[in-house]
Amino acid sequence: MENHLGNFNRTRLRNDDADEAHLHWSPSFLRLALPKPRALSSELRQLGIRSTRLALNSYSEPNYLLDGAPIGADLVPASLISLNETIENIVWVEMEKGLLHLMVPNQNTGQWQVGFTRSISIGKAGYGKEVEGDNRTPVGLYQVTSFLPDEELTDYYGIGAFPINYPNSYDRLNQRTGHGIWLHGLPKGVDERPLLDSEGCVVIDNTAFEWLRGYVTEGHTRVLLGDQIRWTSRSEVALVRQEIESSIEAWRAAWARIDNPTYLDFYADDFSSMDRSLQDWVAYKNRIHAVKEWVEVDISDLNIFAYPAQPDLVVTEYHQVYQSSNFNAEGKKQIFWRRQPDGSWKIVFEGAA
């Protein structure tokens, strides 16, 4: 069988899912000149490399050169496993250090590196949001949903704000509550605030916010909120990518054959689609597969992220075009995979992105 995952920028899978069917389109980023990055450390130490299994959760201290690249020619952010060509930058917030980075791919190597860095403030109670009103900034992978201009805001939010989609799917699975988490500016005339100062938002100075405004696209830009960036080798990230793509292909092949026992074995015991438990999901899939004559699904724009602060949890997101003998659908999809004790990857969430 052809390996449709060899080129993840335009990947073709066949399966039998007809649940998620909403298409979203966002324009590409404009390429702008970056401001001169800020040096984050006066001591330049060699970064240690962990094993492949630990690559997603390496806690080695990150260090930077003046050009924003980590020490070591083969080091990349462990969370950015595989991104399609529409992702031209990532906003990465290191909350332990109080730093926001705009991550960009190196124009020569394609390797992700720090483009520029600015200081930020986060929640008064730190990070790791669980409930509404806890004054903590959430940890996770988010997306900018909109832009609120100066004229729509009070002076407290500076020259603008980018709301993000907290709570996301993983937050809701874990019963986290709250809303209104923004990346926004400082009150005019204020240049800085303490690290622990907001009610959960990420706050940056207005000059830096204006720079970000040129890169951030509503409905498209990803924002990673974590304690710190984990750096690992390109070869280790490639191994994790291979594991995930192999798992997706095996899952796809079983689904295409309507081999229900094999296909459904890819779902973890604690799987949830938000409205269905594993038991309900199995019953649902067995029922709809029984009336299918044929199915085909095209997938494009595949992204693979390691989820911040969650050991061995990976998010895959992609655009899906579904066709079958009795139903057609199109839209964005998101699947969370968790590595099991035996080294296999299983699905803990599947739903619309």
Judging by DSSP bridges, how do beta strands 295-306 and 90-94 pair with one another?
A: unpaired
| Token pair for 2 | 């052809």
Are 340 and 272 in a shared domain? yes
Whether 239 and 308 share a structural domain: yes
Q: Kindly state whether residue 81 falls inside one of the protein's structural domains.
A: no
Tell which of 184, 210, 229 closes a domain: 229
Pair (159, 131) in one structural domain:
yes
The rounded distance, in Å, linking the Cα atoms of 309 and 313 is: 9
Instruction: Give the range of the structural domain holding residue 333, as residue numbers without chain letter.
Output: 8-22+234-352
pLDDT of res. 22: 28
Same domain, residue pair 155 and 281: no
258 and 330 Cβ atoms separated by less than 8 Å: no
CATH number at residue 250: 3.10.450.50
Residue 97 belongs to some domain of the structure? yes
CB atoms within 10 A of CB 133: 10
Residue the block writes with tokens 């390691």? 306
Residues 180 and 253 in one domain: no
Residue 79 belongs to some domain of the structure:
no
Q: In terms of domains, do 149 and 18 share one? A: no
Establish if 40 belongs to a structural domain.
no
Q: Does residue 67 sit within a domain? A: no
Residue type, 188: K
Q: Domain ends where: 194, 229, 264? A: 229
Looking at the fold, whether 240 and 321 belong to one and the same domain comes out as yes
Domain count, the chain: 2
277 in any annotated domain: yes
Can you give the pLDDT of all 353 residues of the chain as single tens digits?
223 333 333 333 333 333 433 222 222 222 233 333 333 233 222 222 222 233 344 333 333 333 444 545 578 899 999 999 999 999 999 999 999 999 998 888 888 889 889 999 999 999 999 999 999 999 999 999 999 999 999 999 999 999 999 999 999 999 999 999 999 999 999 988 999 999 999 999 999 999 999 999 999 999 999 999 999 888 999 999 999 999 998 898 888 889 999 999 999 999 999 999 999 999 999 999 999 988 787 778 899 999 999 989 999 998 888 888 999 999 999 999 999 999 999 999 999 98
Q: Are residues 174 and 245 in the same domain?
A: no
Q: What residues contact 220, with CB distance under 8 A and at least 6 apart?
A: 26, 27, 86, 143, 144
Residues 193 and 311 in one domain: no
Verify that 260 and 336 share a domain, yes or no: yes
What is the pTM assigned to this prediction?
0.80
Structure tokens that stand for 131 in this block: 């409930």
> CATH number of the domain that 218 lies in?
2.40.440.10
Q: Which of 193, 213, 229 is the last residue of a domain?
A: 229
The answer to whether residue 49 is domain-embedded is no
Residue 39 lies in a domain: no
- Domain check: are 245 and 337 in the same one? yes
217 and 282 together in one domain: no
